[in-house]
């Protein structure tokens, strides 16, 4: 049976030399997965399993990238480290969710309850407007304002492919999406996962687990 990967969306600022090194295409062997890497400096792209990369799937928690940006644009959060999510004292399986959280903390632990509240505050009309403006995947949020990005039995979820995710991130970094430089900078800050002398890795995972 093929193993399934958690969806990972991110961007890597790397040197052309590092990118040019041969990528081991056996990395995904045995996994029902795709890997898309785009070099913004050279325009080079590596796409392992293009058929899978073009398949639309529920974005799961990778949608927090745009949920965050929309919330920031609407003034629902001010910056990365201000108090934001007030825990409702409902005990959940993921321990990191069972506390008050700043935006940075909520993004790091992928706090679904916090982002569900944010989606309700944005509202269906506001969310639909931004999703259509940026051209996010299938643009279908009809399954519910606080669950449309999550896979659910017998419900329609918004869907987006890995190829589309990469294209959107490229537009975001080029300033071609309707988000301010200030808010994009906040997003980049909370997305930073690792920094070395070779580059900086930014990303967001999304598996649908614990959601």
Taking the mean position of all CA atoms in its chain, how far away is CA 9?
6
All structural domains of the chain, each given as residue ranges with its CATH number in brackets, are 3-206 (3.40.710.10)
Say yes or no to pLDDT of 13 above 60: no
Percent of the chain residues past pLDDT 90, beyond the cut:
64
pTM of the model: 0.88
Return the higher-pLDDT residue of 171 and 47: 171
Q: How far apart are CA 75 and CA 72, in angstroms?
A: 5
Return the higher-pLDDT residue of 114 and 201: 114
pLDDT in tens, 151-183: 888 777 899 999 999 999 999 999 999 999 999
pLDDT in tens, 110-159: 999 999 999 999 999 999 999 999 999 999 999 999 999 998 887 778 99
Q: Provide the annotated active-site residues.
A: 61
Q: How far apart are CA 5 and CA 28, in angstroms?
A: 9
Show Cβ contacts of residue 82 under 8 Å, excluding neighbours closer than 6 positions.
Answer: 102, 103
Residue the block writes with tokens 């409902």? 90
> From residue 85, how far is each of 77, 92, 126, 192 by CA, in Å?
10, 15, 20, 20
Taking the mean position of all CA atoms in its chain, how far away is CA 106?
13
């Amino acid at each position: 049976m093929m193993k399934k990967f958690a969806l990972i969306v991110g961007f890597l600022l790397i040197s052309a030399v590092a990118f040019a090194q041969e990528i081991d295409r056996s990395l995904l062997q045995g996994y029902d997965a795709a890997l898309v890497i785009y070099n913004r400096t050279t325009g080079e792209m590596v796409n392992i399993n293009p058929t899978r990369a073009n398949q639309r799937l529920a974005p799961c928690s990778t949608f927090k990238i745009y949920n965050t940006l929309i919330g920031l644009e609407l003034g629902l959060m001010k910056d990365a480290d201000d108090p934001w999510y007030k825990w409702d004292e409902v005990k959940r399986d993921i321990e990191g969710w069972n506390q008050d959280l700043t935006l940075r903390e909520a993004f790091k632990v992928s706090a679904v309850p916090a982002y569900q509240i944010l989606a309700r505050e944005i509202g269906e009309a506001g969310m639909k407007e931004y999703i259509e403006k940026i051209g996010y995947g299938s643009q279908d949020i009809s399954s519910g304002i606080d669950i449309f990005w999550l896979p659910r039995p017998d419900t329609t979820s918004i869907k987006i492919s890995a190829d589309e995710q990469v294209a959107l991130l490229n537009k975001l970094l080029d300033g071609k999406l309707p988000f301010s430089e200030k808010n994009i900078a906040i997003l980049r800050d909370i997305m930073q996962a690792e920094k070395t002398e070779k580059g900086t890795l930014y990303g967001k995972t999304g598996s649908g687990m614990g959601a």
